[in-house]
Structure 1
Amino acid sequence: MATVQVSGMEVAYDRVGEGPPVVFLHGAAEDARVWRPQLDALADAFTVVAWDEPGAGRSSDVPESFGLADYAHCLAAVVESLRLGPAHIVGISWGGTLALEFYRHHADLVSTLILVDTYAGWKGSLPAEEVQARVEGARRMLAAPRGEFDPTLPGLFAGEPPAAYVPLLDAIAAVVRPETMRTQLSLMAETDQRDLLPTVSVPTLLLWGEQDVRSPLGVARQFQEAIPDAELVVIPGAGHVSHLERPEEFNRAVRGFCHAHS
């Protein structure tokens, strides 16, 4: 683990390997550890970095007024401090929305985008009634007493969570901060990045679980139509957390795409 100081906050990250830089952005209620299968598999050919975003894992708490652009600027500080840019930027779910916002503000630091089971914000990708249902579900979750708080979002896997990763997922869930999750989910509900998608000019891979119910394949098709020349790869039998449910297929797709565009 290493850290970068950004605007008075300490931002932690893991870094392994040597080669073209690939930066992984985790989803809501997660931290860098969720990318362990990718760090292990890709370090032979790439410099692989996974951060704990502000408010997650080993990083400092997120300020109350933090916005999506603030997350993007923090990520830029990490990439610049490590002299990694331009880098392949990989984001899943909330992390994919952040990857797009990072591109909006710091396109010079982006070599390619790999958007995984994600959204152009909930507002930009989902029907209004679905957004409202998720907001209400988040309110109920966050209103639970501290001892009963469960940050596990529904519909993450196509089937049961892979047994090999259950201890890891439990360990990550145990340290999720409700304040961070409140900020993330509120931002997701308010964000609409559809204006940004047609302006993306770097190679873009859309990597989607075939059975994702949180961000269905219809959302992937919206991205494919809006982003010029975006490539869609569908992972059979995977849900929303495709990088854990089908890591070999996921890693193969990332490796091939990054090699093709390094």
Structure 2
Amino acid sequence: MATVQVNGREIAYDRSGEGPPVVFLHGAGHDARAWRPQLDALSDAFSVVAWDEPGASRSGDIPESFGLADYADALAAVVESLELGPAHIAGLSWGGTVALEFYRHHADLVRTLILVDTYAGWKGSLPPEEVRARVEGTRRMLAAPDGGFDPTLPGLFAGDPPAAYVPLLDAMAAAVRPETLRTQLSVMAVTDQRDLLPTVSVPTLLLWGEQDARSPLAVARQFQEAIPDTELLVIPGAGHVSNLERPAEFNRAVRNFCQAHP
């Protein structure tokens, strides 16, 4: 583990390999460990970096007022500190929303975008009734006696979580801070990045689990129609957390895309 100091806040990250930089942004309730299969498999050709976003795992806490632009600026500080830019920026779910906001504010640091099972904010990608249901469901989960994050939340996987990663999922869930999830919940419920999508001018890969119930393929199609230079690759048999459910297919897609855009 290594760290970067950003505005007095410590941000932790894992790094492996040498070569063109690929930066992975995890989803809500996860941390850098979620990218272990990518750190292991892609480091032969790339400098692979996965952060613990502010408020996650080994990184410092965030204030309640921390917004999407603050995440983007923190990521910019990490990329600049490590001299990674312009980098391939890959984000899954909430991490993809952060990746888009990073592009909005720091496009010069982005070589390509890899958007994985993600959203243009919940408001920008989901019907209002679905957003309300997710807000209420997450609040109930956080108000439960254990107050914890469920790593097997319905829809995260096409089937049962991969047995090899269940200990990892449990460890990440145990490290979740409810206050961070509450902040992210508030942000996602009001975020609409549809205005940004047509302005994206870097090559963009949409990488989607075929059976993703959290961000269905209809959302991927919306991205595909809006972003000018984009391609959609669907991973058969994968749900929302496609990088853990089908790591071999996921890694092959990322490798091929990044090598096609050196």
- Pick the TM interval, shorter chain: over 0.9
Are the equivalent residues in 2 in contact too, given 1:11–1:60 (CA < 8 A)?
Answer: yes
Distance 1:207 1:132 in 2: 26
| Alpha-carbon spacing, 1:257–1:185, altered in 2? closer, same or farther (3 Å) | same
Q: Could you tell me which residue of structure 1 aligns to residue 230 of structure 2?
A: 230
Report the 3-state secondary structure (helix = DSSP H, G, I; strand = E; otherwise coil) of the residue aligned with 2:23: strand
Q: In the comparison of the two structures, how many residue pairs are matched?
A: 261
TM-score by length of 1: 0.98
Give the Å deviation of 1:151.
3.8
Query: Matched residues, percent identical?
Result: 84
TM-score (norm 2): 0.98
- Of residues 214-223 and 58-67 in structure 1, the stretch that sits farther from structure 2 once superposed is 58-67
Deviation at 1:148, TM superposition (A): 4.6
1:229, CA displacement in angstroms?
A: 2.3
Structure 2 gap ranges (5+)? none
Distance 1:21 1:154 in 2: 33
Report the secondary structure of 1:233's partner residue. Answer: strand
Q: Residues of 2 paired with 1:235 and 1:150: CA distance?
A: 26
SS in structure 2 at match of 1:149: coil
2:180 alignment partner in structure 1: 180
Structure 1 gaps, min length 5:
none
When structure 1 is superposed on structure 2, of 147-156 and 246-255 the one drifting more is: 147-156
**In 2, Cα distance between equivalents of 1:32 and 1:212:** 21
- CA shift for structure 1 position 141: 1.3
The alignment's C-alpha RMSD in Å is: 0.8
Take 1:28 and 1:166, find their aligned partners in 2: how far apart are those partners? 17
CA contact (8 A) 2:41 2:251 kept: yes
Aligned residues of 2:197 and 2:226 also touching (Cα < 8 A):
yes
Amino acid at match of 1:118: T
Alignment of 1:1-262 (within 5 A): 1-145=1-145, 147-152=146-151, 153-262=153-262
Per-residue Cα deviation, 1:81-139 (whole angstroms, up to 9, x for no partner): 00000000000000000000000000000000000000000000000000010011111
Query: 1:151·1:176 contact (CA, 8 Å) conserved in 2?
Result: no
In 2, the alpha carbon distance for the partners of 1:182 and 1:160 equals 26
